[in-house]
Amino acid sequence: MVRNVAIVGVGQSKFGVRHDVSFPELAWESVSQALDDAGLEQKDIEYFIVSNAGGWSSEPLPAVVVGEYCGLTPKGTARVEAACASGSSAIKLAHDIIASGQADIVLALGIEKMNESPTPTVVEFIGRAGNYFWEFQNFGLTFPGYYALYATAYMHKYGATEEDLCRVAVKNHYYGSYNPKAQFPKKITLEECMKSRYVAWPLKLLDSSPITDGSAAAILASEDVARKLTDTPVWIRAIGHASDTSNLSKRDNFLSLRAAVEAAHMAYKKAGVDPSNPAKYFDVAEVHDCFTIAEILAYEDLGFAKRGEGVNLIREEQTYVGGPIQVNLSGGLKAKGHPIAATGVGMAVELTRQLRQEVEKERQAVIDRGWALSHNIGGTGHYAYVNIYSLDKPRG
């Protein structure tokens, strides 16, 4: 019998350039918060999963380093990687361990110290995350280049403009300015975004997420344990997952991320969400805005808007606080930051706090339905996870 699973404790470090702490110290910032939030001690954790894409940081075995420093040994552990979706893969594995009855309390931690390497090295490592021999080595594609292909295709077919892309950045920086954990807690104007230098046309610097250090932690528990620990468990109602080809030349178009569509359909089916109008089920969503075009694509891949109409949601401010679907009130990857393998766990942390109405009032979503969604992409749709969280318990 599959058991219900809830998030009972969350924590997140300050995101940014964190030369002030070591790798394990950065992990402890979020782990200690999650333990305090759940009212637990290290001895209560039965298993811990560390998501870390790595390569740019000094620790090749992050899970054992984190386990020793955070006092989690000798409990079992593993490191997981799914590119930028690594954090969501850690949430899924923690969920599945508990749902299957193998443990009652599992910690999922995402962590990166990307700024231990110089920027060109980080850019190269991320660029290698597509198809290295065909796309990176032969044609020199980097990730801004990948998403520029999606942006130009979308602009050509649907008439979106560079100003529309910048509207995503303006929104996310607005809410990021109220998030003390964000890498860039500051507002920007449309004019500032439009004047920022090009990275890969039509994407500019202020269309792009930064290189980020950070950690995020979530403690998951079985239903019986969760009820004893908290009056406000946040239930993991469904997890959808999918993948796509490593080589973009094998994909049908640049107007959608197929893996995201498949992951959303899987999650909706599990949760009983009508895919013809999913937005009506959710109060708030965190979507993967590694570049501004990615948020607009997410609106459509998730079914919040029809094809070609996602741009209208940002033009009409429908994804702001109080709108029909409130999106990236953390500041998103754009302003909150994007520590690759910590991002998915960070989304779970944010949505847990949003549903519990514990975030800063300026960026607190209106919570009516008690449901939330995270959309976490690895690479350019190489991996995709769509997680659904709720205040009400799923049926057993």
Residue 84 resides in a domain:
yes
Poorest-pLDDT segment among 50-54, 126-130, 191-195: 126-130
The two beta strands, 105-113 and 47-51, are parallel
pLDDT in tens, 282-337: 999 999 999 999 999 999 999 999 999 999 999 999 999 999 999 999 999 999 99
Residue 66 resides in a domain:
yes
The better pLDDT of the pair 291, 138 is held by: 291
Distance CA 333, CA 373 (A): 15
Catalytic, out of 84, 166, 193, 290: 84
Residue 248 resides in a domain:
no
Catalytic status, residue 265: no
Q: Is the pLDDT of residue 58 over 60?
A: yes
Q: Is the pLDDT of residue 229 over 80?
A: yes
Q: Is the pLDDT of residue 214 over 70?
A: yes
Q: What is the mean pLDDT of residues 210-237?
A: 97
Model confidence at 124, pLDDT cuts 50, 70, 90, reads confident
pLDDT in tens, 173-187: 999 999 999 999 999
With 0-12 / 13-18 / 19 or more C-beta atoms within 10 angstroms meaning exposed / middle / buried, residue 17 is middle
Which one, of 371, 379, 322, 389, lies nearest residue 131 by Cα? Answer: 379
User: What is the pTM for the complete model shown?
Assistant: 0.97
pLDDT of the residue at 54 = 86
Residue 169 resides in a domain:
no
Residue 173 resides in a domain:
no
Distance CA 79, CA 100 (A): 20
pLDDT of the residue at 395 = 77
Model confidence at 387, pLDDT cuts 50, 70, 90, reads very high
Poorest-pLDDT segment among 139-148, 164-173, 242-251, 278-287: 139-148
Residue 186 resides in a domain:
no
pLDDT of the residue at 137 = 59
Catalytic, out of 173, 288, 338, 375: 338
Q: What angle do CA 209, 211, 217 make, to 5 degrees?
A: 90
CATH of the domain at 82: 3.40.47.10
Catalytic status, residue 338: yes
Q: Which domain holds residue 102?
A: 5-118+211-229
Residue 85 resides in a domain:
yes
In the chain, the number of structural domains is: 1
Distance CA 304, CA 287 (A): 12
Residue 216 resides in a domain:
yes
